[in-house]
Structure 1
Amino acid sequence: MATHTVIEIPKTTSGPADPRAPSILTTLPPEIRNRIYEYLFKRYRPVILDDEEEDFCDVFAGCTDLLLSCRQVYHEAVGILYGQNTFFVTPFLEDQMQFTCTWLSRIGSHYHLLSRVSMDADALPPATYRRYDLLPLLKFIWGYPQAKCEFAFVVSRNSGFKEQNNGAEPYDSITAADIMNTILFGLGTADVLNLKQYARYSGLISSVMVWYHDHAQCGYVEYNDSRIPRSFPHPDRGFSILDHGSKIQWKEPEQLDLVSLPGECLSTINAYARASDTDVAFDLDASEARGYRIGLSGVDTSLRLDIDQMHTRVYDEIIIRMSTQEAGTDFDDFKALQKLLEVDNFESLVNPHHCREEQCFINMVLMFKLSTPEPTADFRININKLLHIFKHDHGCLLITVQESDSSMNGTQSIKWHLIQRAVFLLLSDVLEQYPSKADQPLPQIWIDGHGTALCATYPAMATSEETTIPCSYAIDDPADVLEQYRRKIIHLDQSGMWEQCVSPLDIYSQMNNDSLASMCYCIRYYLGIN
């Protein structure tokens, strides 16, 4: 019987390779190494890019592991991979341009190795107008002027793509690539519209949108910030398409003016232009204004209208002064103030039609220049016309009653809304006592130098005697006035008097009405119930 012979196999362990020993590949001459790299990484058809990274790896399947072998091989081979291939962004991406720029950012410093990146000019479905936002790509071109990468629009086909017109008809789809390549060179490399200087600031340009019409052979470039409702820093630039897209003729730009600036810029410039280093005061006795600047409003009418829409506060305080030599007066029906309100700029300051972020303080100074000094409490002021002038919400209006010597002892400052509440209490008494006068003109409303409502007076007429209705609310405490005001509104509503006397017109109709009921309605509307 045969016996089996057992052969002993010696057991050994693998040892690390000498890190100082050169790689077999690196010992080859450079020319042979480059031929190997070209064989592995150079493709004679475009390398298609899409949002699936695996597809990119599939193109170089089995080859990319070589890049991990050593640092020298990586640096030598990656130049062939990126530098000797044309990369084509698939037309099926939803946002082709954004994906292109995302991929360029992702490859980092390898961007400088690229030779050519192509994008499909027909990625968007056919439409009357074609539109492309080139700003993301233009930022790469402007940001790396020394890079050798050439960006080109092409027209894809099932069997590849074409890059030139090659005698196509004027409206053939190939023309789209020629047009976009010409525009891209003009905006990017040549910077014919001088947009590069603005691209560094995201607040100035958020898109460079190219629009053109296939059949009209014309288009325009729109570059602005999407948050700004006007073209800035320049108006849109039109262009004509010549020689089947191989040439673009740019039209002359429109003349810029101040109105072309964004509203935020106009508002800031206007605030500086209207700023005053002195108090802004209107002396109605002398018909003089001191410290008032018209700012941009004096440039032209359109700019004035634009400035009037701005919700900005220009002045911290406006002082309006007028005087009298009588202890009991209506300041000549405040005609000097009414005349000043005929000036648009001043009227918009006193009665703004648009709610501003912050209203400026208005100090209406009424000075009593009496030959014989009298206590402020003995002054009598008919504020009938003043109530009409300041019907709007004037929470920042102050009425200052001042004696001629200008001493602080003889000065009283009263908030206008406190006077309005006291007047409302007085007028509500008139409505209850004389309902028939609801639609008649407002009576004389008298207050003293402390702002206390005294009485309402209907002057004597040919058919009637003078009628005076004293105020039954002799209240000086603002908190008490507010409480009485709230109670009076509740009483008028519950008793039905309000519905009976005040017609249900809108606030705009009531503002143009000078009746007793309309004044009550306006005061309640702007002050509310609280």
Structure 2
Amino acid sequence: MQIPKQISSPADPKEPSFLNLPAEIRNQIYELLFTREEPVLLHNAKAYHAIPPQRIPDSSWPVTVEAFDEAYENEICQGQIFVHDFQTVTPALLLCRQVYAEAAGYLYGNNTFMFSRPLYCHDSRGYDEEDAEYDDDSYFVTNYVAQWLQNLGSQLKFLKEVRIDAGALCPERCYRALGDVSILKLYNHFEEEDDMDRAGHLQRILIAISTQDVLDLKRYAFKGLLVDNIVLYSSLLYGGVTGPNLIRHFSALEQEAVKWVEFGSSRDYLGRLPTLLQSKILRLVTFSADQIVLDLDSRSIRGLNPIGFHLSRKLRDAVTFNSIPYDTSIVVRKSISTTTSDSKNFAVVASELVSPTGRNSGYSIFWGSFQEIFSSHPSIVIVLDFDIATATSLKEIRINIKEVVPILSHISSYSKAKAHFVLKCPWGNSIHHEEVTISVVELIQSLFLLLSDVRQQWPSEMAKAGGSQLPDIWLNGNGVLIFASYPASSHSSERRVEYAHGRLTPTEIRNRGYRMAMATYTTYNHGTSVGMLYKCWIQIRGLHYQDRDRNRV
């Protein structure tokens, strides 16, 4: 905005006026008001939304939010790195045009402006659409600095020093990482000093493009090819120059000169899109079915289109089990033909299907989040189909779940996962059919009671290294735990602990779990090698019994 320099006059000439003071005194006042020794923090306050603590359904939520708000206020309003108190003096610029014209030079010319962010909470967790409402693109420092410089208009000439905090950019691994970094508005503005690696690399790129003009961009001004954007991709290693009739790419590799690069005839048009948009497109293609079935009998996955996985490694990494839409159900299915079975085959086949070490795996990228999906996805069912040749019932079925206990121990108390047991067997002249569905969380909390009983009866097993000290853990076809046992050996007979909590309701089981968690907790020296029994017990304790309810039982 152009502000003409005009001499104002008071509404009442008889009243004392600031403008009647000598110019030298007014200038001293401007300097005192608008000059700061420390860098002045600039961030897009209108677009800023601090990511609050993860919501938990208990009474500690208000206390947690209050602590977060206090820390946020301290971070923004009482920090020693940046100056935040300009809001108390900037209204003076609105007195009249003459004051603005006289003071603007002191404000913009006597200060170092630092574009950063007061609070930074992003990390490398899987992308969560619920977080998308926070930090829209206009908040990112590279976008806001361009907007701010453009809005200065004629006052741009007063600027002496502007710094961009490259450390406030999301790292490339961050789930909110910005796909492109626009640098067109920074074309003529660069800082000579740098004290961060990313800042130094960005500095070299800006100098090469704007000062040295290694890409010879100025020639486009005479060819009618207007440049409307210059972007750096989030790695800061490649970028592009675009316009109405112009699309070119350049490389900015470290230790190499900035130069144009040409793509071959097979261009990655999808790869040019922002990472977030690529991920959304790939998810729509990959998870187009209403149900995904992991069939452990045929060792295959149905309802999932793998075509996107063959395009590039970057696109494969953009899609995991965490990307599955919540309205898509997930079924893990296994058939069993005997009345007594163990979970070893179940665990081995599941691992071969989705583990990176499985030679026949076409979906190895899923393994990193396979266990997480049991805690986060609202519609996942494990189906065990018992097709038995003799008459029986689910109550008489026996399943040893020892091999899947390590997986179960990583499932949180918020999981909505279910286990569905289906029995089909002959019964006289007809076919007997029986079905039972149980909550996986309730099974885990019952398992915690049984493991606690094992620990109390044989405490020495907790300190054994390796996985051999996990007992066999049996439940029937109704999903009810029966006992845990160690088989007989050459020097000892079979040891067994019956499950003694079968008459309790789910609420009573949970309350008893809190008491056992507090009564039997032991701190082990980090240098002590502990085995799978202790690891599974302590993992369940941490995921299911660390909330505020422990103080009420």
> Across the two proteins, how many residue pairs are aligned to each other?
347
Name which one, 1 or 2, has greater alpha-carbon Rg: 1
2:488 to 454, 460, 464: 460
2:425–2:433: 8 Å Cα contact kept in structure 1?
no
Matched, 1:312 2:333: no
SS at match of 1:54: coil
CA distance in 2, matches of 1:232, 1:429: 64
Give the whole-Å Cα distance in 1 for the aligned partners of 2:222 and 2:309: 39
Q: SS of 2:377's equivalent? A: coil
Which residue of structure 1 aligns with residue 395 of structure 2?
Answer: 377
Q: Which residue of 1 aligns with 2:422?
A: 402
Are residue 479 (structure 1) and residue 494 (structure 2) matched?
no
Alignment check: 8 A CA contact 1:51 1:93 kept: no
Q: Is the contact made by 2:408 and 2:444 (CA closer than 8 Å) also made in structure 1?
A: no
1:9-67: per-residue Cα shift (whole Å, max 9, x none)?
xxxxxxxxxxxxxxxxxxxxxxxxxxxxxxxxxxxxxxxx964541799xxxxxxxxxx
CA distance 1:187–1:348, change in 2 (3 Å) = farther
Residue aligned with 1:368, SS: strand
CA contact (8 A) 1:375 1:410 kept: yes
Gaps of 5+ in 1: 1-48, 58-89, 105-116, 138-152, 154-175, 196-207, 209-220, 240-248, 493-497
Q: Are 1:436 and 2:460 counterparts? A: yes
Distance, in Å, in 1 between the alignment partners of 2:146 and 2:386 is: 74
Is the alpha carbon distance of 1:97 and 1:312 closer, same or farther for their aligned partners in structure 2, counting shifts above 3 Å? closer
**From 283, 301, 313, the counterpart of 1:271:** 283
DSSP-derived class of the 1:319 partner: strand
Matched residue type, 2:284 = Y
Distance change >3 Å, CA 520–CA 185, structure 1 → 2: same
Structure 1 Cα separation of the partners of residues 401 and 212 of structure 2: 76
Q: Distance in 1 between matches of 2:525 and 2:481?
A: 27
Is the alpha carbon distance of 1:372 and 1:100 closer, same or farther for their aligned partners in structure 2, counting shifts above 3 Å?
Answer: closer
Matching residue of 2:116: none
Distance 1:125 1:427 in 2: 64
**1:350 maps to which of 346, 370, 374:** 370
* Alignment pair present for 1:525 and 2:525: no
Q: CA deviation at 1:288?
A: 2.7
Deviations 1:312-335 (A, max 9, x none): 334622211112122121144423
Instruction: Report the Cα distance in structure 1 between the residues aligned to 2:397 and 2:325, rounded to whole angstroms.
Output: 34
Partner of 1:86: none
C-alpha separation in 1, matches of 2:271 and 2:504 = 50
Structure 2 residue aligned with 1:290: 302
Show CA shifts across 1:315-358 (max 9, x none).
Answer: 622211112122121144423223224242342452249x99x5
CA distance 1:372–1:405, shift in 2 (3 Å): closer
1:351·1:392 contact (CA, 8 Å) conserved in 2? yes
Distance in 2 between the 1:370 and 1:283 partners? 19
Secondary structure in structure 2 of the residue aligned to 1:413 = strand
Higher relative contact order (CA 8 A, sep 6+): 2
Task: Kindly indicate whether the alpha-carbon contact (under 8 Å) linking 1:230 and 1:262 is maintained by their aligned counterparts in 2.
Answer: no
The answer for the alignment partner of 1:280 in structure 2 is: 292
Distance 1:373 1:349, change over 3 A: farther
Sort the Cα spacing of 1:454 and 1:188 in 2 relative to 1 into closer, same or farther, 3 A.
farther
Q: Distance in 2 between matches of 1:284 and 1:438?
A: 32
Among 421, 440, 446, the residue aligned to 1:422 = 446
CA distance in 2, matches of 1:279, 1:364: 13
Partner of 1:337: helix, strand, or coil? helix
1: distance between equivalents of 2:284 and 2:105?
A: 51
Query: 1:289 deviation in Å?
Result: 2.3
The letter for the 2-side match of 1:515 is M
Deviates most, 422-431 or 483-492: 483-492
Distance 1:53 1:285, change over 3 A: same
Per-residue deviation, 1:446: 0.7
Structure 1 distance, partners of 2:519, 2:479, is 25
Spell out the pairing of 1:232-247 with structure 2 (5 A cutoff): none
Q: Does the 8 A contact of 1:364 with 1:400 survive in 2?
A: yes
- Identify the residue that residue 352 of structure 2 maps to in structure 1: 339
One-letter amino acid of the structure 1 residue matched with residue 448 of structure 2: F
Q: Please report the TM-score for the alignment, with normalisation by the length of structure 2.
A: 0.52
Contact 2:470 2:532 in 1 (8 A): yes
Q: For the residues of structure 2 that align with 1:55 and 1:133, how far apart are their CA atoms?
A: 38
Distance 1:238 1:396, change over 3 A: same
Q: State the distance in 1 between where 2:471 and 2:146 align.
A: 72
Q: Cα distance 1:476–1:326, how it changes in 2: closer, same or farther (>3 A)?
A: farther
Say which of 54, 58, 70 aligns to 2:6: 54
- Which letter maps to 1:186? Y
Superposition deviation, residue 411 in structure 1? 1.2
Provide Cα deviations, 1:381-420, integer angstroms capped at 9, x if missing partner: 1111111233322513221111127999611111211111
Q: Aligned residue for 1:204?
A: none
Instruction: Please say if residues 276 and 293 of structure 1, whose CA atoms lie closer than 8 Å, have aligned partners that are also in contact.
Output: yes
Q: How does 1:160-199 map to 2 (within 5 A)?
A: 183=217, 186=220, 190-191=224-225, 193=227, 195=228
What's the counterpart of residue 73 of structure 1? none
Find 1:251's aligned residue among 240, 247, 260.
260
Q: Deviations along 1:159-191, whole A, 9 cap, x unmatched? A: xxxxxxxxxxxxxxxxx99979x8567269723
Distance in 2 between residues matched to 1:486 and 1:268, nearest whole Å = 41
Output the CA distance in 2 between the equivalents of 1:424 and 1:378: 23
CA distance in 1, matches of 2:184, 2:248: 15
Tell me the CA shift for residue 274 of structure 1: 0.9
Match of 2:337 in 1: 325
Q: In the aligned structure 2, how far is the partner of 1:352 from the partner of 1:430? A: 27
Distance 1:279 1:125, change over 3 A: closer
Instruction: Summarize the Cα distance change of 1:476–1:404 in structure 2 as closer, same or farther, 3 Å threshold.
Output: farther
Letter in structure 2 aligned against 1:381 = I
User: In 1, Cα distance between the equivalents of 2:378 and 2:221?
Assistant: 47
- Counterpart of 2:323 in 1: which secondary structure? coil
Equivalent position SS for 1:438: helix
Asked if structure 2 preserves the Cα contact closer than 8 Å seen for 1:274 and 1:314, the reply is: no
Partner Cα separation in structure 2 for residue 229 and residue 392 of structure 1: 38
Report the alpha carbon displacement of residue 489 of structure 1 after superposing the two structures with TM: 1.5
- Equivalences for residues 131-150 of structure 1 within 5 A: 135=185
Distance 1:324 1:338 in 2: 18
Q: What TM-score does the superposition give when structure 1 sets the normalisation length? A: 0.54
Is the CA contact 2:240–2:249 (under 8 Å) kept in the aligned structure 1? no
For residues 333 and 289 of structure 1, do their structure 2 counterparts lie closer, same or farther at Cα, with a shift above 3 Å needed?
Answer: closer
Relative to 1, partners in 2 of residues 1:437 and 1:98: Cα closer, same or farther, differing over 3 Å? closer
Shift of 1:280: 1.4
CA displacement, residues 222-258 of structure 1 (integer Å, 9 cap, x when unaligned): 468x9x998578798559xxxxxxxxx9834566564
Partner deviation per Cα, 1:496-515 (whole Å, 9 max, x = no partner): xx21xx62559xx99xx752
CA pair 179-327 structure 1, distance change in 2 beyond 3 A: closer
* Aligned partner of residue 418 in structure 2, secondary structure: strand
* Structure 2 residue aligned with 1:363: 381
1:503 to 2:521 alignment: no
Matches of 1:451 and 1:318 in 2, distance apart? Answer: 20
